[in-house]
A and B are shown apart, each in its own frame.
Chain A
Amino acid sequence: MLELKGIEWTLPGGEEILKKIDFTVPDGKMTVITGPNGGGKTSIAKIIAGIAKPTNGTILLNGEDITDWDITQRSRSGIGYAFQQPVRFKGLKVRDLMELASEETLDESRLCSILGEVGLCAQEYIDRDVDASLSGGESKRIEIATVLAKKGAKVLVFDEPEAGIDLWSFTNLIDAFERLKSNHHESLLIISHQERILDIADYIIVIADGKVRMAGNKEEVLPGLLEGESGTNCPLGKGERGGAA
Chain B
Amino acid sequence: MDEITKEMLKTVSDWDGEAEDGIAYNIRENGQCAGRRSSRNIVIESKEDAPGLIIRISPKAQKETVYIPACVTHGGVDDLVYNDFYVGAGADVTIVAGCGVHTDNEGQAKHNGIHRFFLDKGAHVLYQEKHIGTGTGTGFRRIDPVTDIELGEEAVLEMDTIQIGGVDRTFRKTTAKLAARARLIIHERLMTDGEDEAVSDFDVTLEGEDSGVDLISRSVARGNSRQDYHSKISGNCRCTGHSECDAILAENGKVNAAPELFAGNIDASLIHEAAIGKIAGEQIMKLKTLGLTEAEAEQKIIEGFLR
Residues of chain A touching chain B, judged by Cβ–Cβ distance below 8 Å, are 49, 51, 70-72, 75-76, 80-81, 83, 87, 89-93, 96-97, 100-101, 103, 146, 150-151
Contact = CB atoms under 8 A, between A and B. Distances in A.
Contact of A100 (B246, B283, B290, B305): B290
Contacts of B293: 72
Given A72-B293, A87-B282, A87-B283, A92 B301 contact: yes
B301 A75 contact: no
A176 B306 CA distance: 35
Contact of A90 (B289, B292, B305): B305
B171 to A, nearest CB: 26
B305 A150 contact: no
Contact of B288 (A71, A89, A92, A97): A71
B2 to A, nearest CB: 34
A103 B291 contact: yes
13 contacts: A71-B285, A72-B291, A80-B289, A81-B289, A87-B282, A87-B283, A87-B285, A90-B218, A91-B301, A91-B304, A101-B290, A146-B290, A151-B291
Interface string B216-260: 001000000000000000000000000000100000000000000
A93 B307 CA distance: 11
Interface in B124-153: none
A100 B293 CA distance: 12
A90 B291 contact: no
B60 interface: no
A34 B305 CA distance: 37
Contacts of B287: 100
B306 A91 contact: yes
Contact of A97 (B290, B294, B307): B290
Interface residues of B, number: 22
A70, A80, A100 — most chain B CB neighbours (10 Å): A100
A92 B285 contact: no
B190 to A, nearest CB: 14
A146 B289 CA distance: 10
Contact of B301 (A49, A89, A103): A89
B286 interface: yes
Nearest to A80: B289
A100 B301 contact: no
Interface string B269-297: 00000000000101101111111111000
B288, B294, B300 — most chain A CB neighbours (10 Å): B288
A79 to B, nearest CB: 8
A80, A92, A93, A97 — most chain B CB neighbours (10 Å): A92
Contacts of B292: 72, 100
A75 B287 CA distance: 10
Given A75-B291, A100-B292, A83 B304 contact: no
A231 to B, nearest CB: 37
B290, B292, B305 — most chain A CB neighbours (10 Å): B290
Contacts of B246: 90
A204 B33 CA distance: 75
A16 to B, nearest CB: 23
Given A87-B282, A87-B283, A72 B288 contact: yes
A146 B286 CA distance: 10
Nearest to A103: B291
Contacts of A151: 291
A150 B290 contact: yes
Q: Which 6 A-B pairs have the closest CB atoms?
A: A91-B304, A71-B288, A87-B286, A91-B305, A92-B304, A75-B291
A51 B290 contact: no
Nearest to A97: B290
Nearest to A49: B289
A87 B301 CA distance: 12
Contacts of A101: 290-291
B24 to A, nearest CB: 31
A75 B301 CA distance: 18
B307 A91 contact: yes
Contacts of A83: 282, 286
Contacts of A87: 280, 282-283, 285-286
Contacts of A90: 218, 246, 304-305
